[in-house]
Amino acid sequence: MRSYLLIAPELVMLASALLAMFADVLPVRGRRVAAWIGAAGAAAALVIALAVGPGSVTLFGSMLRFDSLAVFARAATAGLTSVYLLWLAGNGASVGRTREATTLALLAAMGAMLMSGARDLVLLFLTMEAATMPAYVLIGFDRGDERGLEGALKYFLLSMVTSLVMLYGMAFLFGMSGTTSLDGLRVTAFGSLGLIAAVLTIVGLLAKLAAAPFHYWSPDAYAGAPAFSVAFVSSVPKIAGVVALVRVVGVLGPQVRGLTDVMLTVAVASMVIGNFAAFGQKDVRRLMAYSGVAHVGYLLLALAGGTEAGSIGAVLYAVAYAVPSMAIMFVVAEEGPTLDDMDGLLSRRPLAAWAMLVFLLSLVGVPPLAGFFGKLYMFSAALDAGLVWPVVLAFAFSAVSAGYYFGIVRSAFLGQRPRAVRVRSTRNRAADVAIAICLLATVLLGLLAGPMLSVLGYALR
C-alpha cells in the first residue's frame, strides 16, 4: 500500500480536477473558484512530488517508476500547471468557462506526470493519450471560432494517425522482444526491421512535440486557438514528451543502427523550417508555433548524439523553454495576438514589457538565463559526440532567431498604440504574480542549472 503513495501527486491532481469540474455545487461559488482550487491542488502536487522524491520502487508490474528524472519532470509539470491556473484565476472574467479550462489542464497535467515515469510501452501510450486528449479540447475551446475548431481538428487527426503509426511500431517491438517493458526491449538482431520499428514508435512522440515534418498542425492550431490555451498546450505537455523520447531513444539508440541519423535529420529539418518560417509572421501565436518547432530541433540534436549528457541537457532545456514560452503567451492573451497589439506595451505595462524582453532573451540563449545554460549543455554534448556541423548550424540559427523575436520587442518598446484602440485589461493581481513567478523561474533555472544537472545525471547513470 505504501508504494502506491508514490502516485499521490497524480491523485491530488485528479481530485483537484474533479473538484474544479463540480465547482458550481460547492458552498463557495464564483467564476474563479475552480481555477483557485486547481492552482492550490497543483501546488500541493508539486510539494508532494518533491517530498516523496525519487525511488527504485516500481508500480503496476514494473510499468511505472519515478526516478530522479521523472521526479524533476513531474515537479516541473505540476509547478507550471499551478502557475498557469494562477494566471487563469486572475483572468477568469476574460477567459470564460474557467471551470472547464481548469479541469482540462489538470487532467492533461496528470497524464503528463504519469507519462514521465512510464517504463512500459503500453503505459507510455496510454499516458501520452491522457495528456494529449484534453489538449484537443483546449485548442478548440472557443466554440464560436471556426479557425480554432479547424486547428483542433487538424491537431486531432494528425495526432490520431501518428498514434496509430506508433502503435504499429510498438507491436513490432513486442514481437521482436516478447515484452513491452522498455528495459526488456531487444531488437539488435533484427537489423533493418528493428530500425523500422524504432522509427515508427518515435513518430507519435515527434508529432506531439511538433517536430518537422509532423509540425503542420501547430501553426494553424495555435493561431486559431485562444492564447491562454496555447500557453498551456505549447509548454506543459512537452516536458513529459521529451522525457518519454529520452527513454525510448536511450533504449533503442544503442541497439538500432541508423536511429541517431534519423534523429539528426529530423533535428536539422526542424531547425531550418522552424526558424525560417517564423520570419514574417504577424501573429505572435504562429510565430511562437514555428519557434517551438525550431527549439524541438535543438532538443533532438542533443538526443542525436546518443550520450547521457545530451539526454540530460534535453530534459533541462525542455523546462527552460516551457517557462518563458508560457509566460509570453500570458501577455499575448492579455494584450492581443498580433504584433500590433504589442505596440506601446512599455508605456502601458512597463514591468510586463521588461519581463517579455527577459523571456525572449532566454529563448535566444543569452546568459545567465535558463535558455543559455540549456543550449550550452545540449550543444556541448552534441559536440562531444562529433556532431560539429549540426552544432554550428544550431548556433547560427540561435543567433538568427533574435531577428524574429526582435519584432515583438520592437513593437513592445518602440511601437505606439493609438489611445482609441486601447483595451482595459480584466486581469487582477494573480495574473501579474503568475508572470512574475515565470520571470523568477527563468532566472533561477539558469543560476541553478549546475546542481539540477548533477541530480539528473545521477538518474541516468
pLDDT, block means (10 residues), the chain with 461 residues: 77 92 69 85 93 79 85 93 92 74 93 92 93 90 78 86 92 91 86 90 91 86 88 92 92 88 93 91 92 93 86 90 94 88 88 93 90 89 89 91 90 70 60 92 85 63 40
Cβ within 8 Å of residue 85, ≥6 positions away: 35, 36, 38, 39, 42, 102, 105, 106
Cell numbers linked to 8: 499521490
Cell numbers linked to 45: 502536487
In the prediction, which pLDDT does 311 show?
87
Cell numbers linked to 93: 472574467
Letter for the amino acid at 161? V
Angle, CA of 348, 350 and 353, to the nearest 5°: 100
In the prediction, which pLDDT does 417 show?
63
In the prediction, which pLDDT does 242 show?
93
Mutual angle of helices 350-364 and 429-447, in 10-degree steps: 30
CA distances (Å), origin 364, targets 18, 314, 392, 414 = 39, 16, 15, 20
In the prediction, which pLDDT does 221 show?
87
Q: What pTM, to 2 d.p., does this model score?
A: 0.92
- Chain center to CA of 425: 27
Domain housing 330: 2-460
**CA–CA dist 230, 91 (Å, integer):** 15
As for how many domains the chain has, the answer is 1
In the prediction, which pLDDT does 321 show?
93
